[in-house]
Amino acid sequence: MIKVGDSASLTKSFSDTDVRSFAEISGDKNPLHLDDDYAAQTQFERRLVHGMLTAGLISAILGTKLPGEGSIYLSQSFNFRAPVFIGDTITARVTITKIREDKPIITAETICENQDGVVVLEGEAVLFVPREE
């Protein structure tokens, strides 16, 4: 039984292969993600991991760990706070903050931090969670 305060996390280090695969799948071929020379000329000075690839860790938690199988996104907000670079290790964490009593809907805080403890992404997810029979 899910309750307010329940939390789950997932950690992943993002590689060049991850970024290039995501670019192919998503169609987001922004050179900031794919071209070292281009990225070197930006304020970041090196290539970035796609923000939505980072956010995918949250989706993975919601669909497999908490609340888990069968849960369906109703909404998700994202605030991108800091860049994620290739080679960074990101820990995503989902914490249940609200459970509606009248409907099978939950709200969760969603946060991603890098290996230095810097919050790179934060937001809130609202999910439909089918009740078990």
Domain at 114, CATH number:
3.10.129.10
Q: CA angle 107-111-116, nearest 5°?
A: 165
For the chain, how many structural domains are there in total?
1
The verdict on residue 104 lying in a domain is yes
The verdict on residue 84 lying in a domain is yes
Average pLDDT (107-133) is 93
* DSSP string across 21-87: HHHHHH----HHHH-HHHHHTSTT-S-B--HHHHHHHHHHHHHHTSS-TT-EEEEEEEEE-S--BTT
Question: How far is residue 41's CA from residue 117's CA, in Å, rounded to a whole number?
Answer: 27
- How confident is the model at residue 132, as a pLDDT? 64
Residue 130 pLDDT > 90: no
Q: State pLDDT tens for residues 68-77.
A: 999 999 999 9
Q: State pLDDT tens for residues 22-75.
A: 999 999 999 999 999 999 999 999 999 999 999 999 999 999 999 999 999 999
Residue 95 pLDDT > 90: yes
